[in-house]
Amino acid sequence: MTLETLQKKKILVTGGAGFIGSHLCERLLADGADVLCVDNFFTGQKTNVAHLLGNPNFEIQRHDVTFPLYVEVDEIYNLACPASPVHYQHDPVQTTKTSVHGAINMLGLAKRVGAKIFQASTSEVYGDPNVHPQPEEYWGNVNPIGFRSCYDEGKRCAETLFFDYHRQHGTKIKVARIFNTYGPNMHPNDGRVVSNFIVQALMGTDITIYGDGQQTRSFCFVSDLVEGFVRLMGTGDEVTGPINLGNPGEFTMIELAQAVIRLTGSRSQLVHKPLPSDDPRQRKPDIAKAQSILGWEPRVQLEQGLTATIAYFDKVLSNSGIARR
């Protein structure tokens, strides 16, 4: 056995206490890595990673990526940024700064230490798409001055920075475009459709449908997404992305609400409210590249994933003293 094989890979995960980040930290530790979780806890929750604190290969640090970070690591997963409309619209200027300044700081770190760096981009770079499903070659249809622009354009600019660092400095980059993801560790008040529907159903309140409910989304369970992350990071330097990661199964909001009501046994009724500004009518990934390059495709079916997510939220509500109705 060589000295190299004895050394654990040191991996930084920004936004590591968030919904997806916490699952990624858990997976990387299981794979034998030494993980540094960095989070400013604006949307990340300590409870998401509390069970990892006893692991000698896990370390957590409170830090905001809009400021430089000086650590020695082999790989960086840059997930830091609020991802739900409720949270990213709370302080839109800070949201843009997190995407742009955060990318600059993490790319600067990667350049300094020679680390490979992964950017958690988003399907929001496609905006309200005129092409369906959305392939990576599609440039998108994004409103640059709308209420969602702080997130959409911030992520688009971050992708620009990643590819410019790659071309100008030879930085080893991986860019994934994440489509709607759900699962345990989601924030109960994040305003995303899966968490909204489940919490409303468990509490027996009306389930809010925006617009006519015929707009579609594709829902990927978090364990499938993390598998895609790890596979993309494990590819050779010639693979940069962007690569779509999401579930191509397409469901209307009405269909999702009906599934949640059935699986929770809720008596909640559906109520309709006006569609928010710039809300996309369709969202579905073309995952041909993920299939051919990564050998990846989602395996968890919606009903299976919803069942696990419902159990998580049921426990969260019970621990908060909120009884199911």
Residues noted as catalytic: 151
Burial level of 113, CB count in 10 A (0-12/13-18/19+)? middle
Beta strands in the chain (DSSP E): 10-14, 34-39, 58-62, 75-78, 116-122, 173-178, 181-182, 207-210, 216-218, 220-221, 243-245, 250-252, 270-273
The one-letter amino acid code at 26 reads E
Give which of 112, 85, 103 is closest to 275, Cα–Cα. 85
User: What tokens does 10 get?
Assistant: 């040191």
Burial level of 193, CB count in 10 A (0-12/13-18/19+)? buried
| CA–CA separation, 37 and 60 (whole Å) | 5
b/e 221-245 (16+ beta carbons within 10 angstroms → b): bbbbbbbbbbbbbeeeeeebbbbbb
Q: Give φ, ψ of 56 to 5 degrees.
A: -65, -15
Most distant CA pair in the chain, distance = 63
